[in-house]
Amino acid sequence: MASKSLTDDVEEFVKTLITWHTSQKVAEKKVIHDPILGTNVFEPHEIALIDLPFCQRLRRISQTDVASLIYPSTNHNRLEHSLGVATIAGRLLDSLRQRLWPNQMDILSPPAMIEVRAAAILHDIGQGPFSHLTDYIMKQLPEVIQYRKKNPNKFSEDKPHEMLSYLIVKSPIFQDYVKHEIISKYGLPEINMDRVAEMIIAAGQKDPLNAWQGNIINGPFDADKLDYLQRDAYFSGLRIGIDLDRLLHSVWLDWESSPRRLKVMPSGAVTLEQILFGKVLLYNTMYHHQKVLAAECAVHGVFEILKDHKEYKINGRRMNRAIDYLYVSEDDILSLDNKPEELKDYVERFLGRYLPKRALVISADTVNNPDTSPGYFEFKSLAENPKGLRDLRLKLVSALNNKYPNHQIWIALPRTPTFSDEADRAKIQEPGGTEKSLRDIFHIDEWLTAYWSNKWKGYVFCPPGEAIRKEVAKKASELFHDEYNFSLNPKAFEQAKIR
């Protein structure tokens, strides 16, 4: 019997959630207050979308995975973020309307505006527990790889949640529900849910007439970035300045270009630079903080135990298919109920913040002659190769004579964020003027190469204990030399606080 496809899995998931959902008509607009964006109004049909179980499950998905263990106030969730994206998308639409001539108003028709805000509300409904942490797992699963290969250049390799969001919105059952329970019930004009699905993924920017909608949801300066950068910074306590009002004042729709796209007047270019600098700061300060990476490794340990024990399950699910991650919440994964003793003990230690500790720090500062060591660059490239990185980790476990289980030894190599695509796609132009990309104005490649060559750090993590850490550090250092022909200087140990 052939295994089910990813689309089959999604259709079954949609059917399950729709079947037990009871729809009640929302009588009036709702006001939702937000600490970053202030007071925001949502239409009755938008509240009906938000009330769907696909969106409500986002309340139980952390926006910044396990960062709250290090930055205690980062407890915001994916639903808050989705509402913020819808709010900013609405403000972008309002700004665009103010700059269109009367004969251009048909572009921002009521259906087009409804579609954009619907895409904003639904763009993250494919997120798994701990957000991008489970993206890393899902992108390696066979059915995800197979579906992406069948649809080349359509989906981002690193964001399988976008693929799942897209498939949910494309689901015939979901679209039938929207047709009868949203469009018909609320007397909306006919909207194109296929176009809503396309906006969620990068392919939505290729439609010649409607690419501008995709720009708002998944573009170089989209509502998604404009929300999460501000939201993550606010709740982590980091100071990031993004002049949203200036951007709204300078954005315009080039309706004569093909595809039609959003552009920014030169006066707003500084905000685009702020977006890039804000991302760099968040990556360096929070997302790649060594304790955040250690906590992420600890959560990955749960799934490593599941991989090693095929009889173990969470809520009856093996967690070996992408759809499994939509049926469970973070609470399910971290609950101590109905878990085998090994898994229960591991989770209990995680909840007590018993996190892995550094054994080695690998960086340009701790590697001997990093600029002339091809092996060091090959080693860093494992950040893009999950299987290769896991194989190396298992070699380290073996070098330690298997004294420690797989889920206690980790090599964490954060991916170097790349912004060249965003810098290329962000177009700066006065109406009637000459188009330039952000890259033409701000040579980001050179700046980022210099920045990350000095700032990037990889780590080896292991259980606490001075003797254990020294043992793991020694074996890891030897392994890296044997496999990649680079050596570490004493700072690799000192920065891990091994004396």
pLDDT tens digits, 392-440: 999 999 999 999 999 999 999 998 877 767 788 899 999 888 999 888 8
Would you tell me how many other CB atoms lie within 10 Å of the CB of residue 401? Answer: 8
Task: Flag whether 436 is in a domain.
Answer: no
Mean pLDDT of the region 240-247: 92
Instruction: Identify which has the larger pLDDT, 370 or 449.
Output: 370
Report yes or no on 117 lying in a domain. Answer: yes
**Domain-located, residue 439:** no
CA angle 49–161–60, rounded 5-degree value: 60
Reported pTM: 0.95
Whether 279 maps to a domain, the answer reads yes
Cβ–Cβ contacts within 10 Å for residue 36, how many? 16
- Tell me the average pLDDT across 172-182: 97
Q: Does residue 14 sit within a domain?
A: yes
**Number of Cβ within a 10 Å radius of residue 439:** 17
Q: Is residue 294 in some structural domain?
A: no
The fraction of the chain above a pLDDT of 90, given in percent, is 79
Phi, psi of 426 (to 5 degrees): -75, 110
CATH code (residue 372): 3.30.70
| pLDDT reading at 465 higher than 50 | yes
The pLDDT of residue 420 is 67
156 pLDDT tier (thresholds 50, 70, 90):
confident
- Are 269 and 369 found together in one domain? no
Per-residue pLDDT, averaged over 64-78, amounts to 97
Q: Are residues 63 and 204 in the same domain?
A: yes
Residue 138 domain-assigned (yes or no): yes
Which H or E run includes 411?
strand 410-412
Identify the domain containing residue 400 by its residue range: 356-416+456-499
Among 96-105, 145-154, 251-260, 307-316, the range scoring the smallest mean pLDDT is 96-105
CA–CA distance from 328 to each of 22, 57, 189, 315 (Å)?
21, 9, 35, 7
Average pLDDT over residues 50-60: 97
Claim to verify: residue 366 and residue 250 sit in the same structural domain: no
247 with 376, same domain: the answer is: no
**Which CATH number do you get for residue 17?**
1.10.3210.10
**365 and 279 fall within a common domain:** no
In this structure, the answer to whether residues 395 and 478 fall within a common structural domain is yes
Cβ(9)–Cβ(322) below 8 Å: yes
Is the pLDDT assigned to residue 449 strictly greater than 80? no
For range 437-444, the mean pLDDT: 82
Same domain, 249 and 145: yes
* 252 & 389 share domain: no
Pick the last residue of a domain from 267, 287, 307.
287
pLDDT digit string (tens) for 194-217?
Answer: 999 999 997 656 678 888 999 999
Tell me the Cα Rg of the chain: 24
Which tokens belong to 296?
A: 């992420």
Comparing 100 with 74, which gets the higher pLDDT?
A: 74
pLDDT band at 132 (very low <50, low <70, confident <90, very high): very high
For residues 154 and 51, the model is more confident at 51
Q: According to the model, what pLDDT value does residue 157 have?
A: 84
Q: How far apart are the first and last CA of the chain?
A: 58
DSSP of 14-44, one letter per residue? HHHHHHH-------S-EEEEETTTEEEEE-H
In 3D space, the residue among 29, 28, 42, 133 whose CA is nearest the CA of residue 79 turns out to be 42
User: Residue 174 pLDDT > 90, yes or no?
Assistant: yes
- Place 466 in a pLDDT band, splitting at 50, 70 and 90: very high
Return the structure tokens found at 453. 């060559």
Q: Write down which residue in 233, 254, 287 finishes a domain.
A: 287
pLDDT reported for residue 210: 86
pLDDT above 70 as % of the chain = 99
Judge if 97 and 15 occupy the same domain. yes
Longest dimension (CA), the chain: 75
- Indicate whether 390 pLDDT > 70: yes
Question: How sure is the predictor about 255, in pLDDT bands with cuts at 50, 70 and 90?
Answer: confident
Tokens of 268: 């707003």
Give the count of domains, the chain. 2
Q: Residue 112's CB: how many other CB atoms inside 10 A?
A: 19
Q: Are residues 369 and 281 in the same domain?
A: no
Check pLDDT > 50 for residue 1. Answer: no
Query: pLDDT band at residue 75, thresholds of 50, 70 and 90?
Result: very high
379 and 230 co-located in one domain: no
Q: In this predicted model, what pLDDT tens digit does every residue of 318-365 receive, in sequence order?
A: 999 999 999 999 999 999 999 999 999 999 999 999 999 999 999 999
Asked whether residue 365 falls in the same domain as residue 273, the answer is no
Domain presence at residue 340: no
Boundary (domain end) residue, out of 254, 287, 320 = 287
Distance separating alpha carbons of residues 86 and 118, to the nearest angstrom: 8
Give start and end residues of each alpha helix (H) in 357-426: 374-380, 386-399, 420-425
Beta-bridge mates of residue 264: 251, 428
